[in-house]
Structure 1
């Protein structure tokens, strides 16, 4: 029986695959479905190929996740319209970090992948280089830059790590705990946050903390 002309064999599918194409498709799938059900098998189905064909281009799932996070981080520079030369260094650094946040909000899963990695990917290192270049051009010492990298932490990449989750729907502590901690109870009753990247990581809290940190760094520079 003759094979239909539009039927793809694994060999023909493999010839059309590339590492870049696989990474782009994986980012698209993670954006759509999140990481909870992400797998090489589901990615292969998404691409319409045999799962084993993916391993010609990426060694394993962890390698693919690193490449996906790297591709997302690279979007920060591609999307940045502010440039590195105009305005005060604090304004330029704030604009770059807020651009990083907008990028991460398009790909909320990426923050978790970056957090869980022991070593930064090339695009993350390039982004940190841009942060340091802005600070050094603004007159910050190497020592202050070093402290700033630790102080800003994950905010450099547009998200923050929170002590606990106070998002709507999060499980509250039991009443007997609040009874012994009146100030914690007062705070919990007064505030609630929602965020794509973590419980407290909404736009207002992120920008508030970032502005405080930049103001403090500017004073230290002076």
Structure 2
């Protein structure tokens, strides 16, 4: 609280007129992030709605990198957080997902999105030029033939014009959504 007060240019005690403690502050911050995540209209087909949500969650987490570690850790969720969770579950349930399959879907999607963003935020390479520089360093410093599959990956994929790790997000998301669609078609009648 002292650090926050210092950054805001106020006395630490003045913050307690607005929040009771650090936990309440974190709850509010997390709720703000959930409030930034866009949700599709209820009439949007589930797969399109989950795709839009995935990109929106990714954008919010990239914008608020600190949130990744605390987003799901709060035990007193705010109204934006509750609305968000209710909307996601509602979209899946209206599409015919059983309660269990909706839980599996939500977990698989968020695990993928959060994990991808974590890796994306921590990668030391962000631009096509940085990918090229790192790949060239690895290729030049590795003994010839020592890592043939890695070398093939770099020369035939990562060093191709336009490659960025960030573009891998949609491929993985499509796999999950297609798998969930298959699971939905094979679930036992409710």
| Shift in alpha-carbon separation, 1:97–1:177, aligned structure 2, 3 A | farther
Q: Write out per-residue CA displacement over residues 89-136 of structure 1, whole angstroms, 9 at most, x where no aligned residue.
A: 211221222233333343333224326x36573444432321121111
Instruction: Give yes or no for the alignment of 1:133 onto 2:90.
Output: yes
TM-score of the superposition, structure 1-length normalised?
Answer: 0.58
* Unaligned 5+ runs, structure 2: 186-190
Q: 1:85 aligns to what SS in structure 2?
A: coil
The match for 2:158 among 176, 191, 203 is 191
Q: Which has the higher contact order (CA 8 A, sep 6+)?
A: 2
Question: How many Å separate the matches in 2 of 1:209 and 1:97?
Answer: 11
Normalized per residue, the structure richer in helix is 2
For the structure 1 residues 191 and 64, does the alpha-carbon distance in structure 2 shift closer, same or farther, using more than 3 Å as the test?
farther
Cα RMSD of the aligned pairs, angstroms, is 3.8
After TM superposition, give the deviation of residue 61 of structure 1 in Å.
Answer: 3.8
**Closer/same/farther in 2, CA of residues 118 and 44 from structure 1, 3 Å limit:** closer
Alignment partner, residue 57 of structure 1: 18
Determine the C-alpha separation between the residues in 1 that align with 2:179 and 2:119: 20
Aligned twin of 2:54: 97
Distance 2:17 2:86 in 1: 32
> Matched residues in 1 for 2:11 and 2:41: separation?
43
5+ long unaligned stretches in structure 1: 1-39, 195-199
Q: CA deviation at 1:152?
A: 1.4
1:72 deviates by 1.3
Aligned length: 171
The whole-number CA distance in structure 2 between the counterparts of 1:126 and 1:158 is 23
